[in-house]
């Protein structure tokens, strides 16, 4: 993965690409990892909580934005939080039939 010791990654803390990127970065880089949850980690799906727990020793910071209702506006706030702190954003487009989640 190259030298990532000076890199900082913000990850959304959900399932699918969030959990996969967390597991990949934690296992294959020295990058600083921050997980951002729109509410709390306890509100996230089981798969996401398990990935966070599995990588806990590699996560530098967990940000819980405290939104009580996990709906589209809460995810927009979380996304804005992460984007405002980065120099580059990597998105993964949602393919297939239209759904209610994904980039």
Q: What would the pLDDT profile of 34-69 be if each residue is shown by its tens digit?
A: 999 999 999 999 999 999 999 999 999 999 999 888
What burial class does residue 40 get, using C-beta atoms within 10 Å of its C-beta: 0-12 exposed, 13-18 middle, 19+ buried? middle
Domain ranges of the chain: 8-83
The average confidence (pLDDT) of the chain is: 88
pLDDT band at 14 (very low <50, low <70, confident <90, very high): confident
Note the pTM of the prediction, 2 decimals: 0.85
């Amino acid at each position: 993965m190259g030298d990532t010791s000076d890199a900082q990654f913000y990850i959304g803390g959900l399932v699918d690409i969030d959990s996969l990127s967390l597991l990949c970065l934690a296992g294959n880089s020295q990058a600083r990892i921050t997980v951002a949850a729109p509410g709390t980690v306890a509100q996230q799906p089981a798969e996401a909580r398990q990935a966070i727990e599995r990588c806990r020793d590699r996560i530098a910071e967990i940000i819980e934005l405290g939104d009580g209702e996990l709906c589209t506006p809460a995810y927009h706030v979380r996304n804005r939080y992460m984007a405002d702190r980065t120099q580059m954003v990597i998105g993964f487009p949602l393919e297939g039939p239209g759904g209610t989640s994904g980039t």
